Structure 1
Amino acid sequence: MAAAPSAFPSPTDAPFSLRHTMSTHSTEVVRGSHQFSIVGYSLQKRTGVGKIVRSGAFEVGGYSWTIRCYPAGNTKEEEGYLSLFLELLSTAVDKVSVKYSFEINGPMGNLFDQSSTWDDFTRNDKSWGFRKFVKVESLESQYLINDCLTIRCTVEVQKESMTGATRPYFITVPPSGICQDLAQLLDSKQGSDVTFQVGQNDYDAHKVVFAMRSPVFSAQFFGSLADKPGGSGGGGHHVRIHDLKPSTFEAVLHFIYTDTLPPVEDDDDDLLLSESTNYRGLREAAAGCSKESHREMICDWLAAADRYDLERMRLLCESALSETIDVENAAGTLELADRHHCPQLKAFCVDYIASPGVLKAVLATGGYRELKANSPSVVADVLEKLASTGSC
């Protein structure tokens, strides 16, 4: 008996264009964070168990959220603990899957972090968090700055999953490798035509790369003020850099050749930084570096970026500094932003200081006294902000 014909064509019968196809299933995750400062924490704690302090509403992933904080505990069972919750404010929601975490920064750079797994926020379960996040005793001894508690909540929202249409197999093109190539060029010193002398250290580099990245170096090496061939000044083969630490110049060097800031917090992930002889100063500065010391290092980088008109480096430094703003360093950061032409960081600091209840704590810091003495016009900006928001 003859075999019945197959309902499907064999692979060899299929058109060649359909033999190699692909489709993709993807789930988008939107991430955001919100910093919440409670000024006068001890007064809030005295109100007792079950008393709540809420943050302002903030948006992540198209949904509205708030942080619920119980300074003395949520219920009698949690008395003596700080209770923290993330609450969904959006009402027209059936279910949204969220991963969240809370961080508390201490005055010495200490960090307390407790992360959740993915939880489903629904109409009936709008709040998730930690009933016993940290003991109040530990909180008061390690994590308060001038009786101010600063909490950062990071939220990851899972968006709708979807499967794309089937399409022919495509040629994979790797991401651009020009930054890695330039970093290797610096490390190899091949074709170098200028030596920068910073302190006791020498750095071989390439004039054209520096000129391409910095208008200041472009004018020095190829502009009308550049030395004639055989000269010994700024356009020659040796350039002396004054008033700059070797570690700071190495950060400039790293940015010019890679378009990124040096990864000094986790340099094991960057073989170039850990092995290259160009970054000895940075490695020494980063060894055992506290959070505050790392912040001071970024302040030096920002000043150097302004000095050499490295706009992207300056913005990267502004972004990094804005993530570490608190009551103790807000005034000093504002003065730094004003001095080095950082309008975005300056506006961020002014908004933070003008927030309800924050100004009084900032006025008690040494940074504010220096700001008042050195930059009175910046203090006026803060006062104008307070007047516009009706906070004074």
Structure 2
Amino acid sequence: MGCCLSAPDDDDAGGGLDPVSGTHQFTIRQYSQTKGIGSGKSILSRYFTVDGRTWYVRFYPDGYTPNSQFVALYVQTLYKPHCRAVRARFTFELLKPDGTVGYARRSDRPCSFDRYCNCWGFRVFVTREALEGADLGVLHGDSIKVRCTVEVVNSRRKNRGGNQARAAAAAAAMAPQSDFAANAMQFLKSGRAPFDVKFSVGGTVFEAHGLVVAAQSEWFATALYGHGDEGRWAEAGMQCITISDTTPEAFEGVLYYIYHDELPEELIKASGDEAAMTRELFDAADMFLIERMKRMCASRLRRFIKEDTVRSIMELAQAHSCKELEQACQTYLGRRRP
């Protein structure tokens, strides 16, 4: 097996041929039970195809070599290519619960997958301590999500049906991605569409569009439009709906997320206490049943797991049934020296 270093992007060495790439994402479940299988022993991913060839990933939880403090990751072709060497770069990414990348390494050069060596990777990918730590935030629910990208730089598939490939690429270039959703939200944020619902939170009144908040939150959907014959605020003629159990700042953050699909960074920083504000947003996201916002807040709260906060954050996670955040706290406590 070959071993690579990680490095920034370098120039393509494909001899003028267009590279062909593919990505495979998989989950290593019950990670804690994989430890102890022994160095040099690996767990295999499912097969995936890139450039007409079958690939799979090898994960070494106890390391590639004896007494290693690092886990190892390798990508391998199913069969050794006897006719033509396949030169490919590869990238391994460990994903956080919200789908963002917590840690990644990329091969420093295209590696030759040939009859002599059909497996390349990193024998010192990341330390087990870092992998299991709260800083990376990639171990959640005793599971790790891995994304592997293989880029074949000397693909010959371009020459097979090249006209069709070029036609498909030209058609894709002529049809950009739909921007309907972005345009709709931009129009609603502009204020040109009149607000049709008001909320009073702690004496502060907020205006919004009922359909927008209902689309992003099941809590608002049920409250405004109900189920079947249940009472509906939208039809009750209420001038202003009073909401308790949250703060005006947290509710402002909820509305920001609903209209922008991202956390209110300026609001969080302006609060003067990012950890406390993130907790409030986490509470509010759970209250209004906005699962994606809740998971994003949970991922952010991992940054604040320390000796003096781990217990309170774990209690918060348990109170709101957030297994990923609770697991991060338990992992931190498990790493402490007696």
TM-score by length of 2: 0.53
Q: Partner of 1:197 in structure 2? A: 200
Distance in 1 (alpha carbons) for counterparts of 2:181 and 2:72:
45
Once the two structures are TM-superposed, the CA of residue 90 in structure 1 deviates from its matched residue by 2.0
> Is the 1:54–1:67 contact (alpha carbons within 8 Å) kept by the matching residues of 2?
yes
Alpha-carbon spacing, 1:170–1:246, altered in 2? closer, same or farther (3 Å): same
1:68–1:43 Cα change, 3 Å: closer
Q: Is the 8 A contact 1:102 1:154 kept in 2?
A: yes
Matched, 1:69 2:60: yes
Partner residue of 1:225? 231
Unmatched runs of 5 consecutive residues or more in structure 1: 1-24, 106-110, 268-273, 275-279, 306-312, 338-345, 354-360, 366-392
Which of 238, 241, 245 aligns to 2:240? It is 238
Q: How does 1:291-370 map to 2 (within 5 A)?
A: 301-305=285-289, 314=291, 316=292, 336=321
User: Cα deviations across residues 196-216 of structure 1 (Å, max 9, x unaligned)?
Assistant: 123354322234544676532
> How far apart, in 2, do the equivalents of 1:210 and 1:149 lie?
34
**1:356 match:** none
Task: Name the CA distance, whole Å, in 2 between partners of 1:42 and 1:228.
Answer: 55
* 1:35 to 1:286, Cα distance in 2 relative to 1, 3 A: farther
Q: 1:169 to 1:74 in 2, by over 3 A?
A: closer
Does the C-alpha gap of structure 1 residues 199 and 30 become closer, same or farther in structure 2, counting only changes over 3 Å? farther
Q: CA deviation at 1:284?
A: 5.0
- CA pair 125-199 structure 1, distance change in 2 beyond 3 A: farther
User: RMSD value over aligned CA atoms?
Assistant: 5.6
Cα distance change on mapping 1:183 and 1:248 into 2, 3 Å: farther
Give the corresponding residue for 1:130: 122
Question: For the Cα contact (< 8 Å) 2:256–2:262, is it kept in 1?
Answer: yes
Which residue of structure 1 lines up, in the alignment, with residue 149 of structure 2?
156
Residues 123-175 of structure 1, C-alpha deviations (whole Å, 9 max, x = no match)? 433322224445678789988999x9976532113475553239899976673
**Contact preservation (8 Å) 1:96, 1:157:** no
Task: Name the counterpart of 1:186.
Answer: 189
Residue 97 (str. 1) matches residue 99 (str. 2): no
Q: How far apart are residue 112 of structure 1 and its match? A: 5.3
**Map of 1:52-67 to 2, 5 A cutoff?**
52-61=40-49, 63-67=54-58
Contact 1:84 1:133 (C-alpha < 8 Å) held by counterparts: yes
1:175 paired to 2:181: no
Deviations 1:350-384 (A, max 9, x none): xxx9xxxxxxx99x99xxxxxxxxxxxxxxxxxxx
Partner SS state of residue 99, structure 1: strand
Cα distance between partner residues in 2 of 1:144 and 1:253: 29
| Contact 2:47–2:56 (CA under 8 A) maintained in structure 1 | yes
Moved more, 247-256 or 123-132: 247-256
The answer to whether the Cα contact below 8 Å between 1:193 and 1:237 also exists between their aligned partners in 2 is no
For structure 2, list consecutive stretches of 5 or more residues without a partner in the other structure: 1-16, 97-101, 303-309
Q: How far is 1:262 from its partner? A: 1.2
Cα distance in 1 for residues equivalent to 2:132 and 2:230:
61
Change in Cα spacing, 1:212 to 1:99, as seen in structure 2 (3 Å) is closer
Of residues 67, 75, 86, the one that matches 1:87 is 75
Deviations along 1:91-149, one digit per CA (max 9) or x if unpaired, are 275637342125498xxxxx654333464444433322224445678789988999x99
1:295/1:198 CA distance change after superposition, 3 Å = closer
Indicate how the Cα distance of structure 1 residues 137 and 334 shifts in structure 2: closer, same or farther if over 3 A, else same: closer
When residues 42 and 91 of structure 1 are mapped into structure 2, their CA distance, relative to the original with a 3 A threshold, is closer
Larger radius of gyration: 1
Give the deviation of 1:80 after TM superposition: 5.3
Number of residues of Structure 1 aligned to a counterpart in Structure 2: 270
Separation (CA, whole Å) in 1 of partners of 2:142 and 2:233: 56
Q: Distance in 2 between matches of 1:65 and 1:156?
A: 11
